[in-house]
Amino acid sequence: QVQLVESGGGLVQPGGSLRLSCEVSGTIFSMFFMGWYRQAPGKQRELVAGLLKGGFPNYADSVKGRFTVSRDNAKNTVSLQMSSLKPEDTAVYYCNADPGLVDLVRGGNYWGQGTQVTVSS
């Protein structure tokens, strides 16, 4: 059974850095789409960054130049390196994956449990 597990969330000061990781288990196939969504209180869930296998990364405008998404297809993992963090980055971050094409607003079929990122002084 496919399972996604995130790690790396926590409390950081503005301007700090944090790295999130997500590992997919329960399948021998690498996912076509892997990425990260986030949801802050009172806001809609949004795509932060995503990668199609063999494709270029796609980022939300609010994180361009600060976040970097990467994946290891052999290990079926995806990471999100976050730098120059701002208070508005505070949210629950969710790993998301799908073996096929994805509606990027809805997300793919598989979700992690979420990890809290809090940016505060």
Give the pLDDT of residue 101.
87
- pLDDT tens digits in sequence order for the chain, 121 residues long: 999 999 999 999 999 999 999 999 998 888 999 999 999 999 999 999 999 998 999 999 999 999 999 998 888 899 999 999 999 999 999 999 999 988 999 999 999 999 999 999 9
Give the pLDDT of residue 73.
83
Q: Which residue shows structure tokens 């999100």?
A: 80
Give the pLDDT of residue 74.
84
Give the pLDDT of residue 56.
93
Q: How many CB atoms lie within 10 A of CB 24?
A: 22
CA-based torsion, 2, 73, 57, 18: positive or negative: positive
Q: How is 56-111 classified by DSSP, letter by letter? A: --EE-GGGTTTEEEEEETTTTEEEEEE-S--GGG-EEEEEEEESS---TTT--SEE
